[in-house]
Amino acid sequence: MKVEKISRLANIFLITLSLVFTLPSCSDDDESFYYSYFYPSAVVTIKNTADNTCFFQLDDKTTLFPVNIKKSLYTKPEVRALVNYEESEEPSGIYDQSVYVNWIDTILTKPIAPNLGEENLSTYGNDPVEIVKDWVTIVEDGYLTLLFETVWGNNDTYHLVNLVSTENPDNPYELRFCHNANGDTQGKPGQGLVAFDLNSLPDTNGKTVKLKLIWQSFSGEKSTEFDYCTRQTTVTTSSEMKSVKNILPIK
């Protein structure tokens, strides 16, 4: 079975902040500009229309039209991404807001992995992680995006992450986040960012339900809940979904 790989994330937030604080001395307004430029504005879903137009889904209801992206960034699959943008005065057409994109970095985006029963933990791993409570840890637009932290010692060793349904008969929206460190369990704390497509979960039929996430932490099993409602189609998009590796320093 093919399993996506993930290595240590060179923390984009620390990188961007270091860039801000190493810039030459400048006014408060200049510092504010540099900070806002280097730091991501939002997490979005990059989507393509049937005629290959690229647009962003900002949340469950808001769409953004990137005026400076003339061609589709990806041919078929949707993908989650960190983006830095400014609002634009150009017409947005059928979209809610037009924006000018300063930069964009995709996030590793994956479907829910098959439940293998008793082989789940041996296949997908049960090494500890901590789910970071942060603005990028969110359920929106049919995706669960997670910022997680674990121990990284060898940058050449891939860490594998997957999301698996527990197939709890009493809760079809119960999921387990699995992490396989491939033996890389000594070192310093580091963070990773991954998004999971929730489309394979049962339709909530417009209702908001509690999506339960379970994971093995460094202090034992933990869980949390998110509000979840099956995504409603806003604009016709390319329907094929597959795992996509991002261009951040993770695999």
pLDDT tens figures, 23-43: 344 445 555 555 577 889 999
Q: How confident is the model at residue 245 (pLDDT cuts 50, 70, 90)?
A: very low
pLDDT of 1 strictly over 50: no
Cα–Cα distance measured from residue 193 to residue 185, given in angstroms and rounded to the nearest whole number:
18
Q: Is the dihedral of CA 116, 225, 149, 141 positive or negative?
A: positive
Q: How confident is the model at residue 156 (pLDDT cuts 50, 70, 90)?
A: confident
Q: Please state the pTM of the whole predicted model.
A: 0.81
Mean pLDDT rounded to a whole number for the chain: 82
Report the pLDDT value the prediction gives residue 49, as an integer from 0 to 100.
85
Report the pLDDT value the prediction gives residue 13, as an integer from 0 to 100.
39
For residues 233-246, give the mean pLDDT: 42
Q: How confident is the model at residue 235 (pLDDT cuts 50, 70, 90)?
A: low
42 near 141, Cβ under 8 Å?
Answer: no
pLDDT of 87 strictly over 50: yes
Report the pLDDT value the prediction gives residue 110, as an integer from 0 to 100.
95
User: Order of strands, edge to edge, in the sheet holding 174-180?
Assistant: 160-165, 174-180, 209-217, 220-228
Q: How confident is the model at residue 180 (pLDDT cuts 50, 70, 90)?
A: very high
- Non-local CB neighbours of 181 within 8 Å, separated by 6+ positions: 125, 127, 150, 151, 157, 159
190 near 159, Cβ under 8 Å?
Answer: no
Nearest-CA neighbor of 2 among 160, 239, 163? Answer: 160
